[in-house]
Structure 1
């Protein structure tokens, strides 16, 4: 069991560098006293993914920062591994992993990476990082068990037995929180709370046992769901930190 002054978690960033930096600066993370968990989806949809990539790569492995893998990291990984293994043949077919990534927000990421003039190096370095990112993690503080993953889990199974598709893609608990009867606190990103009818701030459901952290980071005021934010929460105190819109 660990002792921290703050147990912090940051939801989906999706290539919104200024929003991310604004909330991270508000938090004032102290690696000697705090632990911070990032729930994945660092890239795609947002217009400034490269500074986010560089920040994550620079900070990966530093004390008390935990970076999880999201489905957008998985799509990126699958896309470029397929490209490398196929030598480009059929890489742009409609059913390819690359096509799937591009139509799910990867197009803007690819263009921004290309503009740097360091495309091959950035892609190679990011692929190496993604390969290291875990799909979930457990933290125990003050005898309370916390589970962190990007998208979803089966609360009745041990973490080691969770299905990768569940952890990265499904939305079961976000849409049906009553399915969580366990004592552990499950913390998720992936599903924007606005899409579930909530306002753009983290949501505690099931008597606080389920925490939803995706507050629509890439959404702007023209979106039918309204403007989004990037959010961070201290799970020990309930304090919320959010980016400007």
Structure 2
């Protein structure tokens, strides 16, 4: 039996991603690898990360969530849409990276962006999503797709949740009663002073700040074993990432 691995935010850190998957986790063809999104916007290998993931998917069982930065880069590739805020927060690395690719490579990447999933539910009632969802009846009832890769209220809610409130209480958040576990990225746990994936209530946050001074993390969702790359910035010593 293979492992089920949740991979946190990458943000262009291809060197760290390869180290994590091949040297630390040592992935096999039996593993299922669920990427939680934000593959681009940060370190200089943003476009190269996507090329790598496209190739990886040919030999491994991969499932790709859509992150907010993936959507922003996709909009840029489709429509030329760019904002100063996106450029400042890592978009320039994607602009620079895609300027080096051929039109055929960009076409393949655009297909990859289009085929990403907003969320995924496995056969053990576990949800995988980049950011979250807001509908109390579950993500399939969401009115707008953008919440899946932009919402922070799910994580903010469990950070503030009183642990004394039990799951069968009328006061327990309805969104947390739908799934047995939820795996997310999007909000670096370094913001609350942590360096490893963090569990709050039924949620596991696997974003360990790869865009800044942190690592890329892999979490085995059954055993909760964790592997991490070196801090990504140490593998790109002449860059600033999103710092």
Give the TM-score normalised by the residue count of structure 1: 0.80
Report deviation, 1:58: 1.2
Q: Does 1:159 align with 2:134?
A: no
Report deviation, 1:29: 1.6
The number of residues matched between the two structures is 213
Question: What are structure 1's unaligned runs of at least 5 residues?
Answer: 84-96, 220-226
SS at match of 1:164: coil
**Which stretch shifts more, 210-219 or 151-160?**
151-160
Q: Give a deviation string over 1:97-118, Cα, whole Å, max 9, x none.
A: 322542331112211332x3x3
Q: Give a deviation string over 1:51-87, Cα, whole Å, max 9, x none.
A: 312111212355521111111111112223223xxxx
Aligned to 2:18: 21
Aligned to 1:174: 155
- Assess if the C-alpha contact under 8 Å between 1:193 and 1:215 holds in 2: yes
Summarize the alignment of residues 166-245 of structure 1 with structure 2, pairs less than 5 Å apart.
Answer: 166-177=147-158, 178=161, 179=173, 180-182=175-177, 183-195=179-191, 197-206=192-201, 209-219=202-212, 227-245=213-231
Aligned to 1:93: none
Rounded Cα–Cα distance in structure 1 between residues aligned with 2:138 and 2:13: 33
CA RMSD of aligned residues (A): 1.9
SS at match of 1:47: coil
Aligned to 1:223: none
Q: Call closer, same or farther: CA 1:61–1:69 in 2, change over 3 Å.
A: farther
Rounded Cα–Cα distance in structure 2 between residues aligned with 1:78 and 1:31: 33
- Assess if the C-alpha contact under 8 Å between 1:6 and 1:234 holds in 2: yes
1:133 to 116, 122, 132: 116
Give the TM-score normalised by the residue count of structure 2: 0.81
Rounded Cα–Cα distance in structure 2 between residues aligned with 1:29 and 1:41: 20
Report deviation, 1:229: 0.4
Question: What are structure 2's unaligned runs of at least 5 residues?
Answer: 162-172, 232-243
Rounded Cα–Cα distance in structure 2 between residues aligned with 1:38 and 1:22: 16
- Assess if the C-alpha contact under 8 Å between 2:36 and 2:66 holds in 1: yes
Q: Call closer, same or farther: CA 1:23–1:11 in 2, change over 3 Å.
A: same
Rounded Cα–Cα distance in structure 1 between residues aligned with 2:190 and 2:135: 24
- Assess if the C-alpha contact under 8 Å between 2:132 and 2:154 holds in 1: yes
